[in-house]
Amino acid sequence: MKNGPRLLRSRSVFPVPVLNDPCPTLPRPHPADIPGPVLAHLFDSARLFHHIRGLCNGNYYRPVEDLLDIRPGDRILDVGCGTGEGSVMAIPGVEYVGIDTDPGYIEYATRLYGRPGVTFQHADIHQVQGKFTKAVVMCTLHHLSDGEVRDLGARLRELVSGDVAVADPDPVASRPLQRFILSRDRGKYVRPIPEDLRLLEGSYRCRSVLTKNLPRLRLAKLTYSLCEPRA
Ligand SMILES: C[S@@+](CC[C@H](N)C(=O)[O-])C[C@H]1O[C@@H](n2cnc3c(N)ncnc32)[C@H](O)[C@@H]1O
């Protein structure tokens, strides 16, 4: 299969397909241009993120299943899918597509969770094709500037016919120690949740429905919001 999907060795019994990179225009340094130790570090980062996230925070996608009322026939887009934990939403009859701008995360997610009905793409929201019934943006808004969040809302409105669930660390509801931890986050745009939602208001009518500690180590409070498309 010359142009078909590559097969990577996985920990499971069966090899899983890895998509040909659908997003060749995103900057992706050639491995030969990256010094050895840096390369090793980059390759490790998805695994580190996955394990540290899992140990400290568990899987906080669960409430989204109820929030979006996911049911067979849905086609779900996960923006900023990281290492793919959102694929837990792909119950039988549901199709899940996770996108992320970090190619290492996408490769890792594909190896870990890729299966029929669950695919991951190295892509930014403006490069995604297709139609979806629902979407989730989990812990990703705080990586985006105000303008990028507004653009994301407009683009989601084009791609997704139904509701969008948004969840992000909540600096106001968080306790002081949690706020300190948030101030060290990689994301540079940790905002009060109402500010996040205001940025999406041009495209969606949003309301917060649930605030809870991240599971396990409770490193921050997370607020889940539901955004309904404006007519
Ligand atoms: C804190 S992680 C959250 C990952 C996943 N949603 C989770 O909760 O486990 C934020 C993710 O957003 C991705 N990201 C940042 N900017 C993005 C963009 N413009 N489009 C898509 N993904 C982006 C990062 O690469 C990272 O994987």
Domains of the chain by start residue, with CATH: 37-229 (3.40.50.150)
Flag whether pLDDT at 153 surpasses 70.
yes
**Residue 181 phi, psi (nearest 5):** -60, -40
For residue 53, the model assigns a pLDDT of: 82
> Is residue 108 lining ligand 1, measured as CB closer than 6 Å?
no
Flag whether pLDDT at 18 surpasses 80.
no
Which atom of ligand 1 is nearest to 138's Cα? 6
Q: How far does the centroid of ligand 1 lie from the alpha carbon of residue 88, in Å?
A: 17
In the structure, what pLDDT confidence band is assigned to residue 49 with cuts at 50, 70 and 90?
Answer: confident
Flag whether pLDDT at 39 surpasses 80.
no
Average pLDDT over residues 195-216: 95
Q: What is the pLDDT of residues 176-197, one digit of tens each?
A: 999 998 998 888 999 999 999 9
Counting residues of the chain whose pLDDT is more than 70, the rounded percentage is 81
Flag whether pLDDT at 59 surpasses 50.
yes
Q: How far does the centroid of ligand 1 lie from the alpha carbon of residue 175, in Å?
A: 24
Q: How far does the centroid of ligand 1 lie from the alpha carbon of residue 54, in Å?
A: 15
In the structure, what pLDDT confidence band is assigned to residue 229 with cuts at 50, 70 and 90?
Answer: very high
Q: What is the DSSP string of 97-157?
A: EEEES-HHHHHHHHHHH-BTTEEEEE--GGG--S-BSEEEEES-GGGS-HHHHHHHHHHHH
DSSP three-state, residue 74: coil
> Is residue 168 lining ligand 1, measured as CB closer than 6 Å?
no
Which residue's alpha carbon is nearest to atom 12 within ligand 1? 80
Average pLDDT over residues 146-164: 98
* Average pLDDT across the chain, whole number: 84
Counting residues of the chain whose pLDDT is more than 90, the rounded percentage is 69
Neighbouring-strand partners of residue 207: 226
Burial class (CB in 10 A: 0-12, 13-18, 19+), 82: buried
> Is residue 155 lining ligand 1, measured as CB closer than 6 Å?
no
Q: How far does the centroid of ligand 1 lie from the alpha carbon of residue 45, in Å?
A: 13
For residue 44, the model assigns a pLDDT of: 53
For residue 94, the model assigns a pLDDT of: 98
For residue 7, the model assigns a pLDDT of: 32
Q: How far does the centroid of ligand 1 lie from the alpha carbon of residue 116, in Å?
A: 23
Which residue's alpha carbon is nearest to atom 27 within ligand 1? 82
Flag whether pLDDT at 28 surpasses 60.
no
Which one of 89, 96, 143 would you pick to mutate in the ligand 1 pocket, going by the greatest count of ligand atoms within 8 A of its CB? Answer: 143
Flag whether pLDDT at 17 surpasses 80.
no
For residue 75, the model assigns a pLDDT of: 98
State how far the Cα of 97 lies from the Cα of 82, in Å rounded to an integer: 12
Flag whether pLDDT at 210 surpasses 70.
yes
pTM, full prediction: 0.83
For residue 225, the model assigns a pLDDT of: 98
Flag whether pLDDT at 167 surpasses 80.
yes
CA dihedral of 195, 196, 202, 204, whole degrees rounded to 10: -130
> Worst-scoring range by mean pLDDT, 14-18, 197-201, 212-216?
14-18
Q: How far does the centroid of ligand 1 lie from the alpha carbon of residue 46, in Å?
A: 11
Q: What is the pLDDT of residues 102-112, one digit of tens each?
A: 999 999 999 99
130 Rama sector, left if φ>0, alpha if ψ -120 to 50, beta otherwise: left
Q: Give first-to-last CA distance, the chain, whole Å.
A: 45
